[in-house]
Amino acid sequence: MGDLLDCGPARYDPAQHVCWNNQFLCPVTAGEPLSRCGGACYSKFMYTCTNNVLTLLPPVNTPFTLTAHNPKLPIIHNKPVTAGGLHWSLNGQTSSYCPAVVPQDACPPGKTTVFVASGGSVAMSVMVPGGQQAYLDPYWNMAYTQAHSAYVPPGSLRTGFGAYQGGGFVNLNGNGWGWVACPPKASGGGGTAWNLVGRNDTNAGSLSACHPVNLKVNPVPAGTYGAWQYT
């Protein structure tokens, strides 16, 4: 607990709550002081407020990149979501491939991880025939299919995601517990990549060493491919 402040008749810790109009308290979640709309607290990564009415932000309609957002965690704040080893990481190294039969100048650079979303699903923005779908694996890590394969492990979740213009990429599965960034392991080389995990009511207790983050959507021009395929 830090030094407590007054919000009307209530006392609050500004590290955990924000006071609106000296009478309404909203929590600070993943470093974001939630905003107030009428009688509700809300995240600007998912909603907008007009005339005290909450509405969902519109879905993003172009490819996009993602960055971690938690100003209280500067080591990972604004770092990119990266594809490598068939899963998403934070601040990792994007891993991609362009086959020799494809002219090299026809392949995207493959150094940036780009996504597309539609109808509650999300995929990698790639040129390889068949594409690469992204999904939550049975351990709630974000993963994606191998090129030329549609295999997804049993127990994975292919849908239940939202990507919003001017907002974030949200996991709507498991009652919306949000994302956490888990630090690189001290053993085994570690590196700079943090693991991205979706929280739920069964795994939250095992993620005490991890930190909540939002994922900010950064639109890129229509038709942008990040790679021929991600590996």
Q: Give pLDDT, residue 3.
A: 87
Instruction: Judge if 51 and 69 occupy the same domain.
Output: no
Backbone angles phi, psi at 40, to 5 degrees: -120, 150
**Max intra-chain CA distance, the chain:** 70
**Which bin fits 212, alpha (ψ -120 to 50), beta or left (φ > 0)?**
beta
Q: Does the pLDDT value for residue 53 go beyond 90?
A: yes
Expressed as residue numbers, the domain containing 11 is 5-56
Per-residue pLDDT band at 2 (split at 50, 70, 90): low
Per-residue pLDDT band at 185 (split at 50, 70, 90): confident
* Count of the separate structural domains present in the chain: 2
Instruction: Judge if 44 and 84 occupy the same domain.
Output: no
Instruction: Judge if 142 and 195 occupy the same domain.
Output: yes
Per-residue pLDDT band at 43 (split at 50, 70, 90): very high
Q: Does the pLDDT value for residue 155 go beyond 80?
A: yes
Q: Give pLDDT, residue 222.
A: 97
Instruction: Judge if 148 and 69 occupy the same domain.
Output: yes
Residue pair 227/108 in contact (Cβ under 8 Å)? The answer is: yes
Residue pair 213/69 in contact (Cβ under 8 Å)? The answer is: yes
**Mean pLDDT, the chain, whole residue set:** 93
Using DSSP's 3-state secondary structure scheme, residue 58 falls into: coil
Instruction: Judge if 143 and 210 occupy the same domain.
Output: yes
Distance between CA atoms of 61 and 219, rounded to whole angstroms? 8
Instruction: Judge if 52 and 146 occupy the same domain.
Output: no
Instruction: Judge if 80 and 34 occupy the same domain.
Output: no
Backbone angles phi, psi at 76, to 5 degrees: -125, -15
Instruction: Judge if 42 and 113 occupy the same domain.
Output: no
Q: Give pLDDT, residue 175.
A: 77
Q: What is the mean pLDDT of residues 70-99?
A: 96
> Per-residue pLDDT tens for 16-34?
999 999 999 999 999 999 9
Q: What is the mean pLDDT of residues 194-221?
A: 93
Q: Does the pLDDT value for residue 229 go beyond 90?
A: yes
Q: Give pLDDT, residue 188.
A: 44
Q: Give pLDDT, residue 131.
A: 98
Instruction: Judge if 89 and 107 occupy the same domain.
Output: yes
Please provide the DSSP assignment of 7-51 as one string. Answer: ETTEEE-TTTEEEETTTEEEEEETTEE-EEETTEEE-TTTEEEET
Instruction: Judge if 25 and 118 occupy the same domain.
Output: no
> Per-residue pLDDT tens for 93-120?
999 999 999 988 889 999 999 999 999 9
Instruction: Judge if 41 and 97 occupy the same domain.
Output: no
Q: Give pLDDT, residue 190.
A: 56
Distance between CA atoms of 61 and 44, rounded to whole angstroms? 18
Residue 220's closest CA among 64, 33, 52? 64
Strand pairing category for 132-136 and 115-118:
unpaired
Q: Does the pLDDT value for residue 189 go beyond 70?
A: no
Q: Which of 34, 56, 78 is the last residue of a domain?
A: 56
